[in-house]
Amino acid sequence: MTSQRTGAPDSAIPTSRRGSVALGVTAGLIGWLAFVEVTSGILQGYYVPLISDVVKHLGIHDADYNWFEAAQLLVSALVVPVLAKLGDMFGHKRILLIATVLTALSTWALAFAGNFTTFLIAFALQGFYVVWLPLEVALIFDRGRRTGTAASQTRKAAGLLVVALEAGAIVGAIGAGLLFEAFAQNVTLTLIVPAIAVTLVFFAILFGVPESQPAPGVRRLDGVGFSILTLGLLLITSGLTFLRINGVGTWWVWVLIAAGILTFIPFGRYELKQKDPAIDLRVLRRPNMWPVQLTAGLIGISLLGAQAPLSTFAGTDPVNGYGLGLSAGQRSILIGAYLISMIVGALLFPLLSRLASPRGALIVASFLVAIGYLLFLPFHLETWQVFTNMAIAGLGSGALVGALPAAAAAAAPRGQTGVATALTNTTKTIGGSFASAVFGVVLLAGAATVTTTAASLFGYMLVWTICGLGALVAAVLLFFVPKLAFADADPATEAHDPGTTDGDADAGTDAAAAESQVI
């Protein structure tokens, strides 16, 4: 492959020059995608301050709102792998546009929903936006692949996208309350605002984002494989949702979870026989891939499951012997500080990757999450202690949000970038679902001695322990990744990467090279 500007082979371009060329290719792309992620953050932060008002608007109970979140989590877990595969087959921009249209329609439907059922369906379908980040990472990686700087440029870009995401979450959380008051507490008018934002995203992608280049050759969608995968994920995520609602004493909940896990046995046997499988298990078992996917699931425990317990702990009256007794406004400031620490972590990760190595940076980030949550065990009585712990965990979490899909993209062969990045989201979602279910149960273990609505201190201790140990296990698993994994590839190698999904020889070569660099 040759440089479009110089006509010289890319491999002949100095590394520093290749980096600048790649930046020139992707700078505009990152800008448009950053707008997409700002909107994604708005969607994640906008509805939380309005929960009580939405509940009143629909005439339902507070506990019913949990069904909205559970349904959206379920939909996102099911559709992300399929959409990512379609992106690998037909172009990531095309599927990104389709996901945006579905998200926009559902967001507009939310604004005009007047009952529980309509709002539930619309909120669930809004979960299509979760595929945005994996598809964006795949698009960026595809652009960088042409200059041999795909891995490093994707890490930088993913960090910027996470900054945009968290900034959007802050804007959404603050803006929702302000707009609700400005619109005289009109729920419909307030909910129209994110619908307008998602609509604008469609045009930003349509006119500002170039299409990726799908791998050559005839591809097909493994319908049977995805059906089995969907069934397994449906059983597991449904079981975890009902576990949180019905409690550990409900026997059929455990049957659902067990059935979902067992489904992966026939799924694995079937996929290994396919030329173009839904999930290429041969790629998944590579030493530079499986630790990344497991890390995503383990980090999902704290990233998606621990925020609600931290908020309720901060609001618990200290008369119970623990808790900070913070008001809603003060808790918002604390959460905002946590999000800012995530932004800092996302910005520092590419720098740490250059100073050490991408693998080393991932390990450090995982250890930061572990340290942050384990520090809660001795230090949780003062506001500054909780703030410090959350800031440390936030630095690691912010780095990992963008770094894990970028690492998965770097580890995947051509033609499987979207699926690999999407799997980090799916495993993270499963980890978060597990955490939400378990944390909901453990926080009811024991009883507060003064106020009946407060959870027990033992429950909070257990939550922090699970989060800390999960991140610690993730850090240890990452030591099994080859030392030089996720580094930039030689453009000549990229040009000759067959991108086959049945490439046993390709996988074997990569694995053999990787083994020589392990630990």
SS3 139: helix
Domain count of the fold of the chain: 3
Q: What is the pLDDT of residue 512?
A: 36
- From 209-213, 428-432, 512-516, the region with the lowest mean pLDDT: 512-516
Is residue 283 included in any domain, yes or no? no
User: Which residues make beta-bridge pairs with 518?
Assistant: 482
Element (H, E) at 519: none
Whether 6 has a pLDDT exceeding 60, the answer reads no
Is residue 278 included in any domain, yes or no? no
Are 256 and 297 in a shared domain?
no
Please, what sign has the CA dihedral across residues 264, 265, 267, 268? positive
According to the per-residue pLDDT averaged within each range, which of 138-152, 350-364, 452-466, 481-495 is highest? 350-364
The tens digit of pLDDT for each residue in 465-513 reads 999 999 999 999 999 998 767 766 654 444 444 444 443 434 333 433 3
Is residue 356 included in any domain, yes or no? yes
> Cα 182 from chain centroid?
32
Whether 12 has a pLDDT exceeding 80, the answer reads no
Contact (CB, 8 A) for 79 and 127: yes
Query: Which of residues 43 and 26 earns the better pLDDT score?
Result: 43
Are 251 and 320 in a shared domain?
no
Could you give the dihedral angle defined by the CA atoms of residues 413, 418, 421 and 423, in that order, rounded to the nearest 10 degrees?
-100
Q: Report the distance separating Cα 90 and Cα 86, nearest Å.
A: 6
Is residue 6 included in any domain, yes or no? no
Q: Report the distance separating Cα 69 and Cα 67, nearest Å.
A: 6
What's 133's domain CATH number?
A: 1.20.1250.20
Q: Which two tokens stand for residue 121?
A: 């369906």
Contact (CB, 8 A) for 134 and 418: yes
Contact (CB, 8 A) for 385 and 313: no
Are 309 and 161 in a shared domain?
no
Is residue 10 included in any domain, yes or no? no
Q: What is the mean pLDDT of residues 421-428?
A: 90
Query: Which of residues 450 and 164 earns the better pLDDT score?
Result: 164
Whether 141 has a pLDDT exceeding 60, the answer reads yes
Q: What percent of the chain has pLDDT over 90?
A: 40
Are 307 and 264 in a shared domain?
no
Q: What is the pLDDT of residue 20?
A: 42
Whether 193 has a pLDDT exceeding 90, the answer reads yes
Give residue 453's domain range: 288-490+497-519
Q: What percent of the chain has pLDDT over 70?
A: 84
b/e map of 305-338 (b: 16 or more CB within 10 Å)? bbbbbbbbbbbbeeebebbbebeeeebbebbbeb
Element (H, E) at 63: none
CA distances to 71, 127, 261 from 240, rounded to whole Å, are 12, 18, 12
> Cα 307 from chain centroid?
15
Are 253 and 294 in a shared domain?
no
The tens digit of pLDDT for each residue in 273-330 reads 988 888 888 888 899 899 999 999 999 999 888 877 887 888 888 887 788 888 877 8
DSSP state of 9: B
What's the whole-number average pLDDT of the chain?
A: 82
Are 369 and 245 in a shared domain?
no
Are 356 and 429 in a shared domain?
yes
Q: What is the mean pLDDT of residues 69-74?
A: 83
Q: What is the pLDDT of residue 335?
A: 82
Query: Which of residues 15 and 421 earns the better pLDDT score?
Result: 421
Are 25 and 102 in a shared domain?
yes
SS3 518: strand
Residue identified by tokens 């839904």 is 278
Pick the last residue of a domain from 181, 211, 241.
Answer: 211
Are 233 and 310 in a shared domain?
no
Is residue 1 included in any domain, yes or no? no
The model's confidence at residue 269, banded by pLDDT at 50, 70 and 90, is: very high
Q: Report the distance separating Cα 459 and Cα 456, nearest Å.
A: 5
Query: Which of residues 191 and 243 earns the better pLDDT score?
Result: 191
Closest to 50 in 3D by CA, of 186, 141, 148 = 186
The model's confidence at residue 455, banded by pLDDT at 50, 70 and 90, is: low
Q: Report the distance separating Cα 51 and Cα 70, nearest Å.
A: 14
The model's confidence at residue 200, banded by pLDDT at 50, 70 and 90, is: very high
Q: How far apart are the first and last CA of the chain?
A: 33
Is residue 182 included in any domain, yes or no? yes
* Alpha-helical regions (H) of 323-456: 328-355, 358-374, 383-411, 417-442
Whether 445 has a pLDDT exceeding 90, the answer reads no
Pick the last residue of a domain from 211, 243, 258.
Answer: 211
Are 387 and 481 in a shared domain?
yes
Q: What is the pLDDT of residue 298?
A: 94
Pick the last residue of a domain from 166, 189, 211.
Answer: 211
SS3 472: helix
Is residue 179 included in any domain, yes or no? yes
C-alpha R_g of the chain:
23
Q: Report the distance separating Cα 45 and Cα 152, nearest Å.
A: 30
Are 241 and 183 in a shared domain?
no
The tens digit of pLDDT for each residue in 386-398 reads 999 999 999 999 9
The model's confidence at residue 454, banded by pLDDT at 50, 70 and 90, is: low
- Residue 408: how many CB atoms within 10 A of its CB? 32
Task: Note the pTM of the prediction, 2 decimals.
Answer: 0.81
Are 355 and 396 in a shared domain?
yes
Residue identified by tokens 């440089």 is 3
